[in-house]
Amino acid sequence: MALTLLGVSLLIFAMIRSVPGTVVEQLLGQAAIASPEVLAAFRRFFGLDRPAHVQYLEWVASVLRGDFGVSWLSGRPVLALFLERVPVSAELAVLAVAWSLLIGIPLGTASAVWRGGVRDGAIRVVATLGLSLPAFWQGTVLILLFSIYLGWMPSLEWVPFTRHPAANLLTMALPTLTLGTATAATITRMARSTMLDTLGREYVRTARAKGLPERRVTFHHALRNALIPVVTVAGVQLGYIVGGIVVVEDVFTLPGVGRLLLDAIFQRDYPVVQGVILLLAAAFMVLNLVVDLFYAVLDPRLRRG
């Protein structure tokens, strides 16, 4: 994880500086072209006149001390800005995974039970479409349909859960649907695959031979064992959702970490971009580590091994 984060830090530092323009041009606008002296003074103020390797080493040294820097535009610590926006993004990610599980597991199970039929084919087509739809397009269509044309959803104004739970969940409905669609499709395909494999196992055939009802065989004997890989995939997808929140929060104007990152990129606020991406990468890796450990808890065969 440490080596991966080091590689991520190098990529962040290099890529954000490859984008044309700096915070100086963003602040000065046309004055940056007309007055080279002012431009040079601002570059010295932000430390952009120093060699790139010196800037990188100073940033990494400060991160190792727990200091992710200060925003060049707001003057606030990057870590404070990140922690301020995390609750919105965390709620969106958890709701998206919950929605994916509620939809994906029943559809995948039904598809396995109806394998080879028309209903199985329809579910597989829907799952493929769910994987193919871009989040920004889907979010825009949902806003046009439910908020503008039908008027069923409220205006896209963020309401904290602690202030008004019902309004908060209603506001989060469309972003959750958008963010969780691809994950639901992935879980559907995974649940179908694992259920087909489990339904062909000997203990399932033995349960049928004993005369147990098919519903009990499917849900008590097969589904419980088939859910172990599905839960693992859901945990991994939670890590990928961390990356998807950037697009979804921008489409639905949610004040989360993704929106903070996009605004910082547009404004060339290097400390915020570097700190937020590094923290998101660390969160992604921690989530994957937790999933690996949780998989050992769910599957006793791994503990015995």
What's the pLDDT tens digit per position in 127-175?
888 888 888 888 888 888 887 777 776 666 777 887 888 888 888 888 8
Same domain for 173 and 115, yes or no, is: yes
Same domain for 18 and 133, yes or no, is: no
Same domain for 187 and 289, yes or no, is: yes
Same domain for 171 and 145, yes or no, is: yes
Half-sphere exposure of 29 (CA within 13 A, CB side): 0
Cα 285 to its chain centre, rounded Å, is 12
- Is 72 a domain residue? no
- Is 206 a domain residue? yes
Same domain for 28 and 123, yes or no, is: no
Note the pLDDT of residue 299.
62
Asked if 35 contacts 25 with a C-beta cutoff of 8 angstroms, the reply is: no
Highest mean pLDDT among 10-14, 70-74, 220-224: 10-14
Q: Output the CA–CA distances (angstroms, integers) from residue 162 to 71, 159, 166, in the order listed.
A: 28, 9, 10
Q: What average pLDDT does the segment 217-233 reach?
A: 75
**CATH classification of the domain holding 250:** 1.10.3720.10
- Is 247 a domain residue? yes
What string of DSSP letters covers 250-300?
HHTT--SHHHHHHHHHHTT-HHHHHHHHHHHHHHHHHHHHHHHHHHHHH-H
Q: What average pLDDT does the segment 4-22 reach?
A: 88
- Is 75 a domain residue? no
Q: pTM of the prediction?
A: 0.81
Phi and psi at residue 106, in whole multiples of 5°? -60, -40
Residue 194: is its pLDDT beyond 70? yes
- Is 10 a domain residue? yes
Same domain for 54 and 86, yes or no, is: no
- Is 126 a domain residue? yes
Same domain for 174 and 38, yes or no, is: no
DSSP state of 305: -
- Is 20 a domain residue? yes
Same domain for 176 and 225, yes or no, is: yes
Closest Cα to residue 251, out of 150, 169, 108, 142?
142
**How many domains does the chain fold into?**
2
Asked if 257 contacts 63 with a C-beta cutoff of 8 angstroms, the reply is: no
Same domain for 86 and 135, yes or no, is: yes
Half-sphere exposure of 62 (CA within 13 A, CB side): 16
Tokens of 131: 């994987």
Q: What average pLDDT does the segment 172-186 reach?
A: 87
Same domain for 275 and 210, yes or no, is: yes
Name, in order, each residue with C-beta under 8 angstroms of 284's C-beta and a sequence gap of 6 or more. Answer: 239, 242, 243
Note the pLDDT of residue 34.
56
User: Over the stretch 248-261, which tens digit does the pLDDT of each residue have?
Assistant: 888 888 888 988 99
User: Over the stretch 35-65, which tens digit does the pLDDT of each residue have?
Assistant: 677 777 877 888 888 888 898 999 999 999 9
Q: Output the CA–CA distances (angstroms, integers) from residue 40 to 16, 49, 62, in the order listed.
A: 20, 8, 25
Same domain for 90 and 47, yes or no, is: no
Same domain for 57 and 12, yes or no, is: yes
CA dihedral (125, 127, 132, 133) positive or negative: positive
User: What range defines the domain where residue 273 resides?
Assistant: 82-304
Instruction: Name the strand (E) or helix (H) holding 101.
Output: helix 78-113
CA atoms of 153 and 167, how far apart (whole Å)? 10
- Is 88 a domain residue? yes
CA atoms of 85 and 287, how far apart (whole Å)? 19
